[in-house]
């Protein structure tokens, strides 16, 4: 087939000839593991017990791969792998910098916790209908979205995680679920389609889809013609919708309380944060100049998001819906760092994002436990838990303090960084919004605590029994995540070091560009 | 050629936004399908439209000819079509199941997840 002439071509100009180092394969490992184990689980979906074991093993392996990747990136800097050996920007690049590796690691933890919790939360019918395959595929999609270095590829991973999440949200097919799923599905699909429109224009202007290549060419095109700013706005709109930032947040409180609690928990931990990740990547690595222009707009969105989220949480009677609004409030804080654009601010955002992924998941898991014990999620009927299980009360209080940003838990430090960053640039109103939203969150969460734990059980309701043996598994998952927030709160030094380094890399996009193109600065693009 | 297709794309977006703004979920679904096709046309046009020279490297050459058609947008559109089709299929079933279960296709009447007139949270006990 291939003509003999081909051998005359010097392939080194166009291709990566060296085999990638073994450790570099870790960039692709979460994807490969997620898909392989997802496929095996799908084949074994009728054998519920075996399928569950395979899935948990797969989730554990993914977490180990994420840890390995994180250590590798921490020690050796950005790890790059290009598919099909084509030199960037021609091959699809996977590039794990500190931002991607950190988010992937936390996503791995959240995924495993969700998988363990589901052992006693998701019934065998739902498992036969594919809970674990969907979870594995969604986690693979989320993790790879954090690691890819190609913007069209990012779109593909968005769609992978979206279609898997559709499968998860309708498991059970209750009326509420279908209603929630309709809103979730349509609004998210419109958001990803808007993202794709942005990608189309981006390709029309830059002629490339490689993120590092775009970042490299963006300064030169800044003054040139081309709808550069319009593309940035399009991305802001699309990803703000995915992240559920105000005023595009309607889909989240309409849907997050409807599926199984394990599903809600994983969604709260992972999905909105992918939107935040994409915003950070696009506005800090690719279009830093547009971020400077849009900073004030993003700051207003951030302040409104955190306040609306916290106020929304105050107005809810269903515990799960209180948490849904708190997810939105947290998104506002992450956007605040992006709005500031300073290293302190971005560092705060990253730390807060990791904190929020862990704590929001833990809170949903906890809500599942207390909801099951009380037989209701309604605050009107809640009560009597303190007598049944004081330790559960301690757990709830720790998480309530953590999500509100009270010491000594992990919510405090990122907020300190963000407030400091705001005051440094004179944005006192942003600092005030952060503090007020924290105050409102405290009220909302302490109300949940006092109504479910301190209030005596109403007459005529069934007595609360002890936590069953299967229920303990749920407790372990929530406890594991809570331990992390306590550690990060009491000893924040290493966590701040990581987020500072992420912020440094993000504010110096040249490191990312250099890592992707290696020594081959002139290569490609011609 | 680009101008003509750009106008056509505009019409696609116009129709799809009009449909998405409807209260009836089936029209929204059709609007989303139209939107996907509009985006595909956008990608296709963004890659510049030339048709004279196919992007094939002959047996006796090592580089393609000057001014070939751009093959990349076609690969992108193909990916997007597959994704959009699978989403359409899923949403069609979801909409149908919802219609069966809730007995309405009017979004304003779908209030199962967020019931109207919910009681305010308790203020004390």
Question: What is the Cα A186 distance to its own chain's centre?
Answer: 20
H-run or E-run covering B34: helix B25-46
Residue B91, phi then psi, degrees to nearest 5: -65, -35
- Look at B42 and A447 and tell me if their CB atoms are within 8 Å: no
H-run or E-run covering A94: strand A93-96
- pLDDT category, A8, cuts 50, 70, 90? low
Residues A257-305: tens digit of each pLDDT:
899 999 999 999 999 999 999 999 999 998 888 888 888 999 999 999 9
Note whether A241 and A187 are within 8 A (CB): yes
What is the C-alpha separation between A480 and A482, in angstroms, rounded? 5
Residues A235, A240, A246, A248, Cα dihedral to 10°: 80
Provide the chain B residues 83-112 that lie in CB contact (below 8 A) with chain A.
83, 86-87, 90-91, 94-95, 97-98, 101-102, 107, 110-112
pLDDT of residue A524: 41
**Is residue A4 over pLDDT 50?**
no
B35 is in which domain, residue-wise?
Answer: 2-54+67-105
Task: Show the tokens assigned to A230.
Answer: 């319009």
Note whether A55 and A132 are within 8 A (CB): yes
* Domain membership flag for residue B112: no
Q: Which residue has the higher pLDDT, A138 or A225?
A: A138
Q: Is A11 on the interface with B (CB under 8 A)?
A: no
**A504-519 average pLDDT score:** 85
pLDDT of residue A522: 44
Residue A471: count of CB within 10 angstroms of its CB: 16
pLDDT of residue A90: 82
Q: Is A250 on the interface with B (CB under 8 A)?
A: no
H-run or E-run covering A251: helix A251-255
- pLDDT category, A403, cuts 50, 70, 90? very high
**A253-260 average pLDDT score:** 90
Q: How far is CA A401 from CA A49, A212, A444, A482, B46, in A?
A: 37, 40, 11, 11, 50
| Sequence ranges of the domains in chain A | 23-517
CB-CB: which of B20, B28, B46 is closest to A201? B46
Residues A429-486: tens digit of each pLDDT:
999 999 999 999 999 999 999 999 888 877 777 777 777 777 788 888 999 999 999 9
pLDDT of residue A526: 33
Note whether A177 and A261 are within 8 A (CB): no
Note whether B76 and B43 are within 8 A (CB): yes
Instruction: Give me the DSSP letters along A332-382.
Output: HHHHHHHHH-SHHHHHHHHHHHHHHHHHHHHHHHHHHHHHHHHT--BTTT-
Which of the 8 DSSP states describes residue A281?
I
* Domain membership flag for residue B116: no
CB-CB: which of B94, B114, B121 is closest to A315? B121
The greatest distance separating any two alpha carbons of chain B, rounded to the nearest whole angstrom, comes to: 87
Instruction: Give me the DSSP letters along A194-223.
Output: HHHHHHHHHHHHHS--BHHHHHHHHHHHSS
pLDDT of residue A1: 40
Mutate to test the interface with A, among B5, B42, B121 (most CBs of A within 10 A): B121
Instruction: Give me the DSSP letters along A30-77.
Output: HHHHHHHHHHHHHHTTT-HHHHHHHHHHHHHHHHHHHHHHHHHHHHH-
Nearest to A303 by CA among A432, A440, A439, A424: A432
To the nearest whole percent, how much of chain A has pLDDT over 70? Answer: 94
Residues A307-353: tens digit of each pLDDT:
999 999 999 999 999 999 999 999 999 999 999 989 999 999 999 99
* Domain membership flag for residue B115: no
- Using DSSP's 3-state secondary structure scheme, residue A89 falls into coil
Question: Count of residues for chain B?
Answer: 125
- State the CATH number of the domain containing residue B100: 1.10.287
- pLDDT category, A516, cuts 50, 70, 90? confident
CB-CB: which of A179, A203, A383 is closest to B113? A179
Give A-chain residues touching B25 at CB under 8 angstroms: 182
**Residue A296 burial by Cβ neighbours in a 10 Å radius (0-12, 13-18, 19+):** exposed
B64 CA to chain A: closest CA distance, Å? Answer: 13
Residues A341-387: tens digit of each pLDDT:
899 999 999 999 999 999 999 999 999 999 888 888 888 888 888 88
Q: Which residue has the higher pLDDT, B85 or A45?
A: B85
Give B-chain residues touching A384 at CB under 8 angstroms: none
To the nearest whole percent, how much of chain B has pLDDT over 90? Answer: 48
Give B-chain residues touching A181 at CB under 8 angstroms: 94, 98
- Look at B121 and A200 and tell me if their CB atoms are within 8 Å: no
To the nearest whole percent, how much of chain B has pLDDT over 70? Answer: 100
CB-CB: which of A182, A185, A380 is closest to B110? A182
B49 CA to chain A: closest CA distance, Å? Answer: 11
Provide the chain A residues 153-172 that lie in CB contact (below 8 A) with chain B.
156, 159, 162-163, 166, 170
- pLDDT category, A519, cuts 50, 70, 90? low
Domain total in chain B: 1
Interface size, chain A vs chain B, as Cβ–Cβ contacts under 8 Å: 114
- Look at B121 and A175 and tell me if their CB atoms are within 8 Å: no
Question: What is the Cα A403 distance to its own chain's centre?
Answer: 16
**Residue A67 burial by Cβ neighbours in a 10 Å radius (0-12, 13-18, 19+):** middle
What is the C-alpha separation between A150 and A90, in angstroms, rounded? 10
pLDDT of residue A222: 64
Q: What angle do the packed helices A98-121 and A493-507 form, to 10 degrees?
A: 130
- Look at A178 and B102 and tell me if their CB atoms are within 8 Å: yes
- Using DSSP's 3-state secondary structure scheme, residue B64 falls into coil
Note whether A183 and A251 are within 8 A (CB): yes
Range with lowest mean pLDDT among A46-50, A404-408, A488-492, B68-72:
B68-72
pLDDT of residue A319: 92
Task: Show the tokens assigned to A367.
Answer: 């809500």
Nearest to B52 by CA among B36, B66, B37, B68: B68
pLDDT of residue A11: 67
Q: What angle (nearest 5°) sits at the alpha carbon of residue B78, between those of residues B77 and B84? A: 80
**Is residue A7 over pLDDT 70?**
no
Q: Which residues contact B57 (CB under 8 A, 6 or more apart)?
A: B63, B64
**Residue A107 burial by Cβ neighbours in a 10 Å radius (0-12, 13-18, 19+):** buried
H-run or E-run covering A96: strand A93-96
């Amino acid at each position: 087939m291939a003509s003999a002439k081909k051998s005359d071509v010097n392939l080194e100009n166009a291709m990566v000839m060296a085999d990638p180092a073994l450790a570099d394969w870790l960039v692709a490992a979460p994807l490969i593991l997620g898909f392989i184990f997802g496929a095996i689980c799908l084949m074994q979906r009728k054998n519920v017990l075996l399928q569950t074991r395979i899935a948990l093993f797969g989730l554990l392996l993914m977490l180990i791969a994420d840890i390995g990747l994180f250590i590798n990136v921490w020690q050796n800097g950005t790890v790059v792998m290009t598919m099909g050996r084509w030199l960037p920007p021609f091959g699809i690049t996977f590039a794990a910098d500190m931002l991607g590796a950190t988010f992937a690691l936390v996503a791995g933890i959240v995924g495993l916790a969700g998988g363990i919790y589901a052992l006693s939360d998701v019934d065998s019918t739902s498992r036969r209908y594919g809970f674990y395959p969907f979870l594995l595929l969604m986690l693979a999609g989320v993790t790879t979205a954090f690691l890819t270095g190609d913007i069209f590829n990012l779109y593909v991973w968005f769609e992978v995680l979206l279609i898997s999440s559709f499968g998860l949200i309708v498991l059970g097919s209750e009326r509420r679920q279908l209603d929630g799923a309709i809103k979730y599905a349509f609004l998210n699909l419109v958001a990803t389609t808007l993202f794709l429109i942005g990608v189309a224009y981006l390709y029309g202007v830059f002629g490339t889809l490689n993120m590092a290549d775009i970042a490299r060419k963006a300064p030169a095109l800044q003054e040139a013609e081309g709808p550069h700013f319009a593309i940035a706005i399009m991305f802001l709109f699309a990803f703000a919708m995915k992240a559920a930032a105000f005023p595009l947040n309607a889909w989240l409180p309409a849907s997050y309380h409807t599926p199984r609690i394990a599903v809600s928990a994983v969604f709260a931990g992972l999905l909105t944060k992918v939107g935040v990740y994409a915003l950070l990547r696009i506005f800090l690595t690719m279009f830093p100049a547009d971020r400077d222009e849009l900073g004030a707009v993003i700051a207003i969105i951030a302040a409104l998001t955190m306040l609306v989220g916290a106020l929304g949480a105050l107005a809810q009677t269903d515990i799960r819906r209180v948490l849904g609004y708190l997810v939105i409030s947290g998104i506002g804080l992450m956007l605040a760092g992006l709005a500031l654009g300073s290293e302190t601010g971005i560092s705060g955002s990253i730390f807060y994002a990791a904190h929020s992924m862990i704590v929001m998941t833990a809170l949903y898991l906890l809500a599942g436990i207390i909801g099951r014990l009380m037989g209701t999620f309604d605050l009107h009927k809640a009560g009597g838990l303190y007598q049944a299980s004081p330790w559960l009360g301690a757990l709830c209080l720790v998480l309530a303090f953590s999500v509100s940003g009270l010491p000594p838990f992990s919510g405090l430090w990122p907020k300190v960084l963000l407030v400091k960053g705001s005051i440094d640039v004179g944005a006192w109103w942003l600092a005030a919004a952060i503090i007020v939203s924290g105050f409102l969150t405290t009220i909302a969460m302490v109300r949940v605590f006092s109504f479910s734990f301190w209030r005596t059980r109403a007459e005529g309701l069934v007595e609360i029994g002890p936590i069953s043996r299967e229920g303990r598994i749920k407790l372990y998952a929530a406890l594991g995540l809570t331990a992390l927030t306590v550690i990060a709160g009491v000893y924040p030094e290493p966590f701040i070091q990581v987020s500072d380094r992420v912020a440094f890399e993000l504010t110096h996009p040249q490191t990312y560009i250099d890592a992707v193109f290696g020594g081959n600065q002139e290569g490609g693009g011609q | 050629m680009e101008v003509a297709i750009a106008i056509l794309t505009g019409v696609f977006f116009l129709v799809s936004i009009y449909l998405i703004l409807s209260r009836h979920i089936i029209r929204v679904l059709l609007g989303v399908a139209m939107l996907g096709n509009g985006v595909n046309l956008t990608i296709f046009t963004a890659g510049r439209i030339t048709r004279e020279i196919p992007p094939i490297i002959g047996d006796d050459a090592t580089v393609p000819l000057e001014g070939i058609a751009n093959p990349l947008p076609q690969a992108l559109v193909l990916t997007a079509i597959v994704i959009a089709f699978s989403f359409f299929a899923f949403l069609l079933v979801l909409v149908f199941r919802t219609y069966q279960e809730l007995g309405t296709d009017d979004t304003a009447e779908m209030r199962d997840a967020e019931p109207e007139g919910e009681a305010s949270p308790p203020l004390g006990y």
